[in-house]
Amino acid sequence: MSAARKGRNILGDVILDVTEADFQARVVDRSRQVPVVVDFWAEWCGPCRQLGPALERAATAREGKVDLAKVDVDGNQGLARTYRVQGIPAVKAFRDGEVTSEFTGAVGPAEVERFFDALVPTEADELTSRAVGDGDEASLRRALELDPRQAEAARALARILLTRGEAGEALTVAEGFPGDFLAAGLAARARLSMNGGEHDPAFSAWDRGDHEAALEDLQQAFAAADDSDVRDLIRQAMVGIFTELGAGHPLAREHRRRLSLAL
């Protein structure tokens, strides 16, 4: 038995030698509790021996937050077929029983670290997850201090500030997330609120969860507005509501159609 294999057995709960017999329990079922990275490898594979130590270091550094399962493809060809392993090393990450990300080949240590980082929530992620539901403003602010790119925390904090009438700070918090339509909608709402507050009844309806009233008011405001910049801000706010509702929601579909016709 190799030194590496002995090391894996010693680590036990973090780095696992897995076979077809225990794959369901140690990978699929386990991934419902923590992410599990599976390394499909073979003893004769040079790139596998090159990649293995980087995977093991990454898993050990995140003990308790992610497991590493080593599957020898020579002895577990059924698993290799099931998960469509075409070449090795093949690395697949499981969460909630499903493969969520993967790569093939011996990548560098920095890329291995990024792969693991994407699976393990950061402190900012964990703070945000706890804070969003109960409106913990202090935790949301701390999350953004730790990671200014934490869009979910920014959206939640902006909503708190907007409902409190602090549109200027809300704008500072919400802008700067390109491609995030809800953040852009909140930023547009902040600008509209700073520009006289005539749309605040629609935004109050939004805050109390009356999306139908909010969208109807904004449709009327869009049709009545003469200024192209104001119209665009109203449009962005509506798109933010569409995003919050979800693309398939009947209200989002109806008002997106009406907005398209009015453009």
Residues 133 and 103 in one domain: no
Active site residue 48: yes
Residues 243 and 184 in one domain: yes
What is the distance between the alpha carbons of residues 110 and 108, in angstroms, rounded to a whole number?
6
Assess whether pLDDT exceeds 60 at residue 262: yes
- Boundary of a domain, candidates 80, 99, 117: 117
Q: What is the pLDDT of residue 92?
A: 97
- Match 């539901």 to its residue by tokens: 133
Residues 221 and 106 in one domain: no
Share of the chain above pLDDT 90, in %: 81
Residues 151 and 236 in one domain: yes
What is the secondary structure of 155-220 as a DSSP string? HHHHHHHHHTT-HHHHHHHHSS-TT-HHHHHHHHHHHHHHTTSTTHHHHHHHHTT-HHHHHHHHHH
**Total of domains in the chain:** 2
Residues 80 and 12 in one domain: yes
Give residue 57's domain range. 3-117
Residues 96 and 194 in one domain: no
Spot the catalytic one: 16, 27, 36, 48: 48
Assess whether pLDDT exceeds 70 at residue 11: no
Assess whether pLDDT exceeds 90 at residue 180: yes
Spot the catalytic one: 27, 36, 45, 188: 45
Question: What is the pTM assigned to this prediction?
Answer: 0.66
Active site residue 45: yes
Greater confidence (8 vs 209) lies with 209
- Boundary of a domain, candidates 94, 117, 140: 117
What is the distance between the alpha carbons of residues 177 and 161, in angstroms, rounded to a whole number?
17
Residues 149 and 24 in one domain: no
Q: What is the pLDDT of residue 9?
A: 41
Assess whether pLDDT exceeds 50 at residue 141: yes
CATH of the domain at 30: 3.40.30.10
Residues 25 and 41 in one domain: yes
Strands 98-104 and 36-41: unpaired
Strands 98-104 and 15-17: unpaired
CATH of the domain at 189: 1.25.40
What pLDDT band is residue 166 in, cutting at 50, 70 and 90?
A: very high
Residues 241 and 136 in one domain: yes
What is the distance between the alpha carbons of residues 252 and 257, in angstroms, rounded to a whole number?
8
Assess whether pLDDT exceeds 50 at residue 169: yes
Assess whether pLDDT exceeds 60 at residue 145: yes
Q: Where are the alpha helices (DSSP H) in the chain?
A: 3-11, 23, 46-61, 77-82, 109-117, 123-134, 137-146, 151-163, 167-174, 181-194, 200-207, 211-224, 228-245, 250-262
Sheet-wide strand order for 98-104: 15-17, 67-72, 36-41, 90-95, 98-104
Q: At what angle do helices 211-224 and 250-262 cross, to 10 degrees?
A: 0
Residues 92 and 132 in one domain: no
Residues 113 and 128 in one domain: no
Average model confidence (pLDDT) across the chain = 91
Residues whose CB is less than 8 angstroms from the CB of residue 12 and which lie 6 or more positions away in sequence, other chains included? none
Strands 36-41 and 67-72: parallel
Give the mean model confidence (pLDDT) for residues 21-41. Answer: 94
- Boundary of a domain, candidates 69, 89, 117: 117
Residues 197 and 258 in one domain: yes
